[in-house]
Amino acid sequence: MAIIQNAEINDDQEAQSEEALQREQTNERLSQEPGKTLLSVNQVERIFQVGGRSLHVLKGIQMEVKQQQLVMLKGRSGSGKTTLLNCLGGLDTPSKGEIIFNGKPFSTKSDDERTLVRRRDMGFIFQAFALMPLLSAWENVELSLRMAGTPRSQWKERVEECLTLVGLEKRMHHRPFELSGGEQQRVAIAKAIAHKPILLLADEPTAELDTAMSAQVMAVFQNIIRTENVSICMTTHDLTILEVADHVYEMVDGKFI
């Protein structure tokens, strides 16, 4: 398993170094302008074919995320939040409608093109912290820079910067099992922002945490929106954190109400 993972990392590393080079050459990224639309979703539908039947999961979603906004998607289990988040991150594509990201059509790009955009401009955070268990907080964040093709000379400074931003400067060399759930989620955030994405997508990032730890994670989100110029779109069941959102979309049975 470890050998397979390493081989994949090497392949990924090569491909992503090329990307990093291309990125520098084309300097494609748009300048940051708070309040400008970063992501817009136009009449998106997602229909799955299951056992010969059509399952209509997203039914005409219309939404936007502006630069430096914290947007929350709330809704009951099964309402379609994860399906929508997968479409926003290009892991899935709408059956109808369109998603525009950073001023360009996104959902209509090829799989390879979406992967390039995702690796460069997006970061992902999940409910279960998705850390490598045998690596320290430092090594976990460093791995993310290695995977993104960031030049080695920048790793030390950026790892320190990201772990400090999430308030873990005193825990940099701890491994996940030596950290609380909230601290592990903050390492996952440091990992997700290390390559300087412009959009963070988070699926129930506080679901495994108690109220105090959830509040810490939300404070970190608010901090990185300002300091890293990132926008965040997250799903949640937790009504107590909705008040820190700039905008809340409530999903019921595949539609916003």
Ligand X SMILES: Nc1ncnc2c1ncn2[C@@H]1O[C@H](COP(=O)(O)OP(=O)(O)OP(=O)(O)O)[C@@H](O)[C@H]1O
Q: Of the two residues 83 and 231, which places its CB atom closer to ligand X in the complex?
A: 83
Identify whether the C-beta of residue 44 lies closer than 8 Å to the C-beta of residue 60: yes
The tokens for 143 are: 């791995």
Amino acid residing at 101: F
Residues that bind ligand X (CB under 6 A): 48, 50, 55, 57, 75, 77-83
What is the smallest separation between the CB atom of 94 and ligand X, expressed in angstroms? 13
What is the smallest separation between the CB atom of 136 and ligand X, expressed in angstroms? 30
What is the smallest separation between the CB atom of 236 and ligand X, expressed in angstroms? 9
What is the smallest separation between the CB atom of 65 and ligand X, expressed in angstroms? 18
Q: Of the two residues 84 and 147, which places its CB atom closer to ligand X in the complex?
A: 84
Q: Of the two residues 62 and 227, which places its CB atom closer to ligand X in the complex?
A: 62
What is the smallest separation between the CB atom of 85 and ligand X, expressed in angstroms? 7
Cα separation, 56 vs 34, whole angstroms? 35
Q: Of the two residues 39 and 88, which places its CB atom closer to ligand X in the complex?
A: 88
What is the smallest separation between the CB atom of 72 and ligand X, expressed in angstroms? 13
Q: Of the two residues 139 and 250, which places its CB atom closer to ligand X in the complex?
A: 250
What is the smallest separation between the CB atom of 22 and ligand X, expressed in angstroms? 32
The tokens for 57 are: 């999961």
For the residues of the chain, what is the DSSP string, one character each? Answer: -HHHHHHHHHHHHHHHHHHHHHHHHH--PPPP-TTSEEEEEEEEEEEEEETTEEEEEEEEEEEEEETT-EEEEEE-TTSSHHHHHHHHTTSS--SEEEEEETTEE-TTS-HHHHHHHHHHHEEEE-SS----TTS-HHHHHHHHHHHTT--GGGHHHHHHHHHHHTT-TTSTT--GGGS-HHHHHHHHHHHHHTT--SEEEEESTTTTS-HHHHHHHHHHHHHHHHHS--EEEEEE--GGGGGG-SEEEEEETTEE-
Q: Of the two residues 83 and 184, which places its CB atom closer to ligand X in the complex?
A: 83
Q: Of the two residues 89 and 149, which places its CB atom closer to ligand X in the complex?
A: 89
